[in-house]
Structure 1
Amino acid sequence: MTPTPPRLVATDLDGTLLRADGTLSAPSRRVLAALDERGVHVVLVTARPRRWMLDLWPVVGAHGLAVVSNGALTWDVAADRPVETRPFDPAVGRAVVSRVAAAVPGAGFGVERVSGLVCDAAYTEIEDPPAGLVVDDPERLWDEPGLKLLVQDEGADPAALRDAVTEAVGDDAEATWTLPGLVEVSARGVTKGVALAHLAAGLGIDAAEVVAFGDMPNDVAMLTWAGRGCAVANAHPDVRAAADEVVGHHDDDGVARALAGLFDLPSAVMGAC
């Protein structure tokens, strides 16, 4: 008996669905479009903030939703509105910043909001933030609900930075990382896995009907919750160990190839890679 294909596909972006240069390949675009035509829910689940997703929204398709900021915001792409937010309690956010600042002198701080990024002068954004989003008083980082706290120290040893921030955060929040020199902190209990579970429940979809793909430790909660959790070949060792299976490398369209096989898509969909 042929297994029933999943009803929901959840995939991380950087290091997983996207290639090393940050692009989405033509074969991957065709696979996602084919799933959309079949009515499969395609959910992008990423640490990226919403403001870094505008160019990728079209690939989500008519049935797609997205989870951004490591699970702190679920976004309805078609309606361009939030479905659910999981922000920090401002008092907890202030206390966490105070403890991390003491543990990592010279660290820069940023806070992702639904409206965008606010940061202090020590934080270096990849894209220069618009005027007015750099604050002198760390208290102002929490003027609006914060979705994710960013702790940056590009000169620090990555492992030492992660350990110091994780210890300072304690049980008040969730510390994860995807890039050296940066630790991302979410409110307690907020993970990609929790957000995906809530999203799926709202659609009437069980974990057994979900396939998920990822590459970094912040993906583990999502992969272990999904009925089928897949790590790409280039994934962190902890992620490969936690996954049900390992698929191809992200530079070889491993996610697209796995989905093409899982959904028995025509070979023409993948085409020449």
Structure 2
Amino acid sequence: MSLPRLVATDLDGTLVRSDGSVSDYTREVLVGVERLGVPVVFVTGRPLRWARDVFDHVGDHGLAVVSNGALLWDVAADRARLERAISAEDALAFCRDLRAAVPGTAFAVEDLDGIALEPGFMERHPIPDASRRAPLEELMDRPALKLLARHEELDAQDFWDRAEAATGGRLTITWSSSSALLEVSAAEVTKASTLAMLCADLGVDAADVVAFGDMPNDLPMLGWAGTAYAMADAHPTVTAAADHVAPGHDEDGVATVLAGVFGL
């Protein structure tokens, strides 16, 4: 069996530990893989403002797939290589339909400038002080890289099911949170579809990619990659879809597997 030519890894719950850190061991293994000429690509649901926290660990190629595939970021040049945004018109129509079907839904919008939130959107993480709060129609004055939809009473799976039924698959809905927070991208935008574009540019086939993930937003990527690892503490749907199971993210599971695969 030939060695992988590219490593694609999710961050939270996969590469990053529960305390938000990347261990020294994981860092050393990633550097070792890069020295073999194998790019390590971070493929994350994080928006750019959070993804920057781990960009120091991206190799010399300096590329990351951000916001569930809505953005391909050139880390070295500090600029977007590809944006796959939702038009304001499509976003507003989606939000109207979802709110009508599931009252109590609140929305936020991510773009390159950061996050903007409806007054009723209860964020669980610190947000920049300058973040806008306004009605959705005012927030959607430009294309969005990602919509966030939150419900304070439903569980994540129920909210996802209702959202899919209400909006007819016009946009791509996924989730990676333990709470009822949906992440919405433009049609056909997933971690997998943007990773596939990147790999095509690099001349790497899907069969030559090894991928790691833990939550439903990783499912398209794990299904596309030639070799797929779910983390030991992954969501059950991810474990069922993956070829293999890696040790948990707090046990440096990604690094442990890569060290074995590449003989580091």
- Closer, same or farther in 2 for the Cα pair 1:71/1:132, shift >3 Å? closer
Residue in structure 1 matching 2:156, options 155, 158, 172: 158
Displacement after TM superposition at 1:58 (Å) = 0.6
Q: Which residue of 1 aligns with 2:92?
A: 94
Q: Which amino acid aligns with 1:214?
A: G
Matched, 1:176 2:163: no
Q: Distance in 2 between matches of 1:119 and 1:157?
A: 21
Q: 1:175 to 1:132 in 2, by over 3 A?
A: closer
Q: How far is the alpha carbon of 1:225 from its aligned partner?
A: 0.9
- Shift of residue 18, structure 1, vs aligned partner: 1.3
**Alignment-derived partner of residue 201 in structure 1:** 200
Q: For 1:23 and 1:61, how far apart are their aligned partners in 2?
A: 17
Q: Within 5 Å, which residues of 2 pair with 1:132-143?
A: 133-136=132-135, 138-143=136-141
For the residue of structure 2 that corresponds to 1:17, the secondary structure is coil
- Tell me the CA shift for residue 132 of structure 1: 5.4
Using the TM superposition, give the Cα deviation of residue 129 of structure 1 relative to its aligned residue in structure 2, in angstroms. Answer: 3.5
Residue in structure 2 matched with residue 186 of structure 1 by the alignment: 185
Gaps of 5+ in 2: none
| 3-state SS in 2 of match to 1:18 | coil
Asked if residue 54 in structure 1 is aligned to residue 52 in structure 2, the reply is yes
Task: Return the alpha-carbon distance in structure 2 between the equivalents of residues 122 and 160 of structure 1.
Answer: 20
Q: Which consecutive unaligned segments of at least 5 residues does structure 1 have?
A: 266-273
Q: How far off is 1:187 after superposition?
A: 1.0
Instruction: Between 77-86 and 242-251, report the one with greater CA deviation.
Output: 242-251
Tell me the matched-pair count: 262
- In the TM superposition, residue 237 of structure 1 has moved relative to its aligned partner by 1.6
User: Residue 76 of structure 1 aligns with which residue?
Assistant: 74
What TM-score comes out, normalization by structure 2 length? 0.95
Identity %: 51
8 Å contact from structure 2 (residues 117, 133) kept in 1 = yes
Letter in 2 for 1:102: A
AA aligned to 1:118 is A
What RMSD over aligned residues (CA atoms) do the two structures have, in Å? 1.4
Deviations 1:223-257 (A, max 9, x none): 11111111111111211111111111112111100
Identify the residue that residue 11 of structure 1 maps to in structure 2. 9
Partner of 2:106: 108
Length-normalised TM-score, structure 1: 0.92
- Residues 191-200 or 114-123, more deviating: 114-123
Query: Residue 62 of structure 2 aligns with which residue?
Result: 64
1:70 maps to amino acid:
N
Deviating beyond 4 angstroms after TM superposition, the runs of 4 or more aligned structure 1 residues are: none
Change (3 A) 1:159 1:4: closer
Letter in 2 for 1:185: V
**1:40–1:63 CA contact under 8 A, matched in 2:** no
Q: What is the one-letter code of the residue matched to 1:240?
A: T
